[in-house]
Amino acid sequence: MEFVTIESWPAPQLTDYRPALEAGNVLFFPTTPFRLPEESQDFLRNLNFSGGAIHKNVAYRPGADRVTGVEADSAQAKRLKSILRDYSRTVVEFTRALLPQYAPAWKLDYASFRPLEEQGRDLPLNKRNDLIHTDAFPTRPTNGDLILRVFTNIHPAKPREWVTTDPFRVIATRYARSAGLDRIASGGRLLNRSAHLLHSFGLPATPRSPYDRFMLRFHEYLKRNEEFQKNCAKYHFAFPPGSTWLTFTDVLPHSVHSGQHALEQTFIISRFSLANTENAPVSILESLCGRPLVESS
Instruction: Work out how close the CB of 193 gets to Fe ion at its nearest, in angstroms, rounded to a whole number.
Output: 30
Instruction: Work out how close the CB of 215 gets to Fe ion at its nearest, in angstroms, rounded to a whole number.
Output: 12
Residue 25 or 192 with smaller CB distance to Fe ion: 25
Instruction: Work out how close the CB of 100 gets to Fe ion at its nearest, in angstroms, rounded to a whole number.
Output: 26
Residue 165 or 192 with smaller CB distance to Fe ion: 165
Residue 127 or 230 with smaller CB distance to Fe ion: 127
Q: Binding string to Fe ion for residues 94 to 133, with x set by CB under 5 A, is what?
A: ----------------------------------------
Number of residues that bind Fe ion (CB under 5 A): 1
Residue type at 254? Answer: H
Instruction: Work out how close the CB of 282 gets to Fe ion at its nearest, in angstroms, rounded to a whole number.
Output: 18
3-state secondary structure of 266: strand
Residue 135 or 286 with smaller CB distance to Fe ion: 135
Instruction: Work out how close the CB of 221 gets to Fe ion at its nearest, in angstroms, rounded to a whole number.
Output: 14
Residue 192 or 244 with smaller CB distance to Fe ion: 244
Q: CB within 8 A of 275, min separation 6: which ones?
A: 16, 18, 19, 22, 101
How remote is the C-alpha of 244 from its chain's centroid? Answer: 14
Q: Report the C-alpha gap between 8 and 17 in whole angstroms.
A: 14
Residue type at 263? Answer: L
Q: CB within 8 A of 154, min separation 6: which ones?
A: 36, 41, 44, 45, 241, 242, 261, 262, 263
Q: Report the C-alpha gap between 19 and 16 in whole angstroms.
A: 7
Beta bridge partners of 70: 54
Instruction: Work out how close the CB of 250 gets to Fe ion at its nearest, in angstroms, rounded to a whole number.
Output: 9
Q: Which of residues 43-82 bind Fe ion (CB under 5 A)?
A: none
Q: CB within 8 A of 177, min separation 6: which ones?
A: 288
Residue 134 or 192 with smaller CB distance to Fe ion: 134
Beta bridge partners of 283: none
Instruction: Work out how close the CB of 219 gets to Fe ion at its nearest, in angstroms, rounded to a whole number.
Output: 8
CB nearest Fe ion: which residue?
135
3-state secondary structure of 232: coil
Q: How many CB atoms lie within 10 A of CB 78?
A: 13
Instruction: Work out how close the CB of 254 gets to Fe ion at its nearest, in angstroms, rounded to a whole number.
Output: 6
Residue 58 or 83 with smaller CB distance to Fe ion: 58
Residue 135 or 212 with smaller CB distance to Fe ion: 135
**Helix 281-289 and helix 181-200: axis angle, to 10°?**
120
Q: How many CB atoms lie within 10 A of CB 91?
A: 27
Q: Report the C-alpha gap between 69 and 78 in whole angstroms.
A: 13
Q: Which of residues 199-218 bind Fe ion (CB under 5 A)?
A: none
Q: Which of residues 127-146 bind Fe ion (CB under 5 A)?
A: 135
Q: Interface with Fe ion by CB under 5 A: which residues?
A: 135
